[in-house]
Structure 1
Amino acid sequence: MRVVPVKNIRPGVELAKPVYDEHGRVLVQTNMQLTEVMIKRLKNMNITYAVIREENTDDILIHSPIPDEQRIEAIQQIKHTFQNVKSDYLMNSNHLLEKAAVKLEVLVKELTTELSKNEEVIHYLSDLLIVDDYLFAHSLNVSMYTLALAQELHVNSSDLEQLGLGAVLHDIGKTMIPDEIINKPGKLEKDEWKIVQAHTEYGFEILRHAHNIPLLVAHCAYQHHERMDGSGYPRGIQQNEIHPFAKIIGVADVFDAVTSNRVYRDAMLPHEGLDILYSGAGTQFDKHLVETFKKTVALYPNGLTVKLSDGRVGVVARQNRQLFDRPVVRILQENDRNVNPYDLDMKDVLDVTIVSTDNLHKQD
């Protein structure tokens, strides 16, 4: 299977994975040859990538962090919780949030178990799920990245549950921000940006008044935009003033934000998202956390088309554990000509690097 940008797909190719909506309904079925109309529909739904079937890559597996059914159910649960929180807040109550918190704790345990069973790093390019609000999918993604990073850091199980809950609820304050500002396609005005920044304070206030939610979870919402050099918000605190959990969530939050498709820009690839984190390592972000996070995600996910420094073009076939920038690549072209496919293990050819990705291969 190959992961291809939807904008490069041509009619006639077969979809290897279905596209779901947030309720688990199949919008575009697998094993069907895509038509012009279906490709246009994928574009209109803001799908960045599609997984297609082709003979030379049919044995390449595209991994998901958790099963599709579990992911859909989790997003629905998060959506329901956030909507109830807004109703609670307007009625000066915490009843619905406190009731939802019990279920969210179970969700965190389920995610932790699922992620610990999976020895693969997290691949997320192939996430063909349509949700009507980025906030809910983002909250789930951040919780998965956070838990994966925490497991790599060997955080104990008790702290892991609080951290996971903090990650799921880190952006709950955005329910108080007007939709027209949250979903604005262009650059925010200065006063609009101030309103968005207030979501950290809203989140803290909402969570700290819920009796069955630890105060530490509220501080995760409050501090996840603080930065080591004091350049963050809402208080501009720095270094050890920031709770370690907020630092972890901050790394996961930025990575998912830049690697997700938004109304105002296209998604970055994972290696580009990691470059953003590395550019702030030691200043905005804890350097050890960034280096550890690199071990939890596939920089070049399976199925991605890549070009090598020696001119060869291929598709990432599988990962090398602890060497995620040097995967095994299924070579399909040399010197701009198709060749009989063969696998090149990049850990064995250190003088060859990946120089570009993503937009290389247009379907004929």
Structure 2
Amino acid sequence: MRLVSVNRLQAGMKLGKKIYNDEGLVLLSDGVELTDALIKRLAKIDIGYIYIEDSLTEDVEITGMLQDETRNQALKVVRNQFQQMSGASGITKGFYHLDKKFSKVMDSILDDLATQEDPMIMLLDMHTADNYLYAHSLNVCLYTLVLGIAYGYSREELRVIGLGALLHDIGKTQIPVKIVQKPGMLSDEEFRHMQAHTEIGYRILKEEPNIPLLAAHCALQHHERIDGSGYPRGLTGPQIHEYAKWLGVADSYDAMTSNRIYKKAMLPHQAVEALYVGSGTLYEQKQLELFRDRVAIYPLGLTVKLSTGESGVVVKIDPSTPHRPVVRVLNGPEGEPVVPFELDLGSKLSVVIVDVTDEDGVVVRTT
């Protein structure tokens, strides 16, 4: 399987992984042969990259972080509650009737992650951008939990931070849709409305007897930054709860790697580089270091160029050295096809990835 930009798709290619809509339902099944009409449809619904079948990498299996049943149930619970609250005249409805569902979903997510010996932050299943909020809530929850597991939190601590992450944007249900889904830059007044989602989310969650108060603080503080430049209160490092700091990193990463109405998604390595610009100012350096060590910055199936001039596809990732994957070399220094062979960058330290390329050889610079 190979990861390809939607802009580089060609008719006749076959889809390697399912594409889901915002309700977690299958929009296109794996194995579907792409036509010009389907390619135009994919571009229209703001999907940036998809996996395609490829004879040279047919043995590369891309597995999700969650089982399909767990993922779909989590999206359903988030979607149903958020939709019930959207457009409400006041913040009066709570989670009394749904708290058990959220707890059950969180247990299922933690159970799925527990089956993975060394869970990593991977490029997740492809979703449409029909409603970014639902998939974003689940993605941020998963990323935050992977970081929490690596950090050594107990299961109960993971449940609390996981609920905080899953519900961190609940306040956006009370922001006008025209602002939340605006395709361009927000005006100063609109941005002030958007910023209010943190305090609204806190007020919603803190009143719920079955939602931990720390989860409410995650909603309140996930846009605070350690240098005091965040919102809503301009808190500095020691004043921001540790959970909210982890959540801030995960939230920013998912925003960068998601295709939005107004911006194209970054690839993981680009997003990590962007996060590191804020090391020690926006984010804690030690947290970013752990994040870097837990994210697959070069996803399976990605086409890369090596310092030798050769190019190939990432086919294996060692959790202990995720930034130095195994690459199946397919082309020589002049772009000529070669007999495929695998190069383990974890042991071949003199070779590094210098570029990420699309199928037609267009290069996205990494430095």
**Scaled by the length of structure 1, what TM-score is found?**
0.94
SS at match of 2:98: helix
Structure 2 unaligned runs (5+)?
363-367
Greater shift, 290-299 or 247-256, is seen at: 290-299
Report how many aligned residue pairs link the two structures: 360
SS at match of 2:60: coil
Aligned to 1:47: 47
Whole-angstrom distance in 2 between the partners of 1:124 and 1:137 = 13
Alignment CA distance shift 1:93-1:182 (3 Å): closer
* Structure 1 position 85, deviation (Å): 3.5
Whole-angstrom distance in 2 between the partners of 1:162 and 1:259 = 25
Provide Cα deviations, 1:11-49, integer angstroms capped at 9, x if missing partner.
111212222323454332322322111211211221211
**Preserved contact between residue 15 and residue 52 of structure 1 (Cα < 8 Å):** yes
Whole-angstrom distance in 2 between the partners of 1:224 and 1:30 = 36
1:207 maps onto 2:231 in alignment: no
Alignment CA distance shift 1:90-1:209 (3 Å): farther
Aligned to 2:260: 262
Aligned to 2:147: 149
* Structure 1 position 180, deviation (Å): 1.0
Whole-angstrom distance in 2 between the partners of 1:281 and 1:179 = 33
* Structure 1 position 86, deviation (Å): 4.1
Percent pairwise identity: 43
Alignment CA distance shift 1:74-1:92 (3 Å): closer
1:32 maps onto 2:32 in alignment: yes
Whole-angstrom distance in 1 between the partners of 2:154 and 2:24 = 33
Alignment CA distance shift 1:30-1:160 (3 Å): closer
Alignment CA distance shift 1:23-1:223 (3 Å): closer
**Preserved contact between residue 121 and residue 296 of structure 1 (Cα < 8 Å):** yes
1:276 maps onto 2:274 in alignment: yes
What amino acid is aligned across from residue 143 of structure 2 in structure 1? Answer: Y
Whole-angstrom distance in 1 between the partners of 2:179 and 2:223 = 18
What amino acid is aligned across from residue 121 of structure 1 in structure 2? Answer: M
Q: Show the 5 A alignment for 1:190-229.
A: 190-229=188-227
* Structure 1 position 120, deviation (Å): 4.7
1:66 maps onto 2:66 in alignment: yes
Whole-angstrom distance in 2 between the partners of 1:69 and 1:45 = 24
What amino acid is aligned across from residue 283 of structure 2 in structure 1? Answer: F
Whole-angstrom distance in 2 between the partners of 1:235 and 1:158 = 28
Aligned to 2:356: 357
**Preserved contact between residue 306 and residue 313 of structure 1 (Cα < 8 Å):** yes
Whole-angstrom distance in 2 between the partners of 1:116 and 1:144 = 12
SS at match of 2:309: coil
Whole-angstrom distance in 2 between the partners of 1:85 and 1:183 = 16
* Structure 1 position 238, deviation (Å): 0.5
Whole-angstrom distance in 2 between the partners of 1:67 and 1:171 = 24
Whole-angstrom distance in 1 between the partners of 2:164 and 2:33 = 43
* Structure 1 position 115, deviation (Å): 1.3
**Preserved contact between residue 307 and residue 360 of structure 1 (Cα < 8 Å):** no
* Structure 1 position 351, deviation (Å): 2.1
Whole-angstrom distance in 1 between the partners of 2:72 and 2:345 = 35
**Preserved contact between residue 70 and residue 108 of structure 2 (Cα < 8 Å):** no
Whole-angstrom distance in 1 between the partners of 2:229 and 2:90 = 35
SS at match of 1:341: strand
Over the aligned positions, Cα root-mean-square deviation in angstroms equals 1.8
* Structure 1 position 212, deviation (Å): 2.0
Provide Cα deviations, 1:232-265, integer angstroms capped at 9, x if missing partner.
0000011111011111111110011101111111
Aligned to 2:365: none
1:340 maps onto 2:320 in alignment: no
Stretches (4+) displaced over 4 A? none
Structure 1 unaligned runs (5+)?
none
* Structure 1 position 317, deviation (Å): 0.3
**Preserved contact between residue 14 and residue 53 of structure 2 (Cα < 8 Å):** yes
What amino acid is aligned across from residue 3 of structure 2 in structure 1? Answer: V
Structure with more contact order per residue of length (Cα contacts < 8 Å, sep ≥ 6): 1
Alignment CA distance shift 1:91-1:277 (3 Å): closer
What amino acid is aligned across from residue 307 of structure 1 in structure 2? Answer: K
1:287 maps onto 2:304 in alignment: no
* Structure 1 position 325, deviation (Å): 1.1
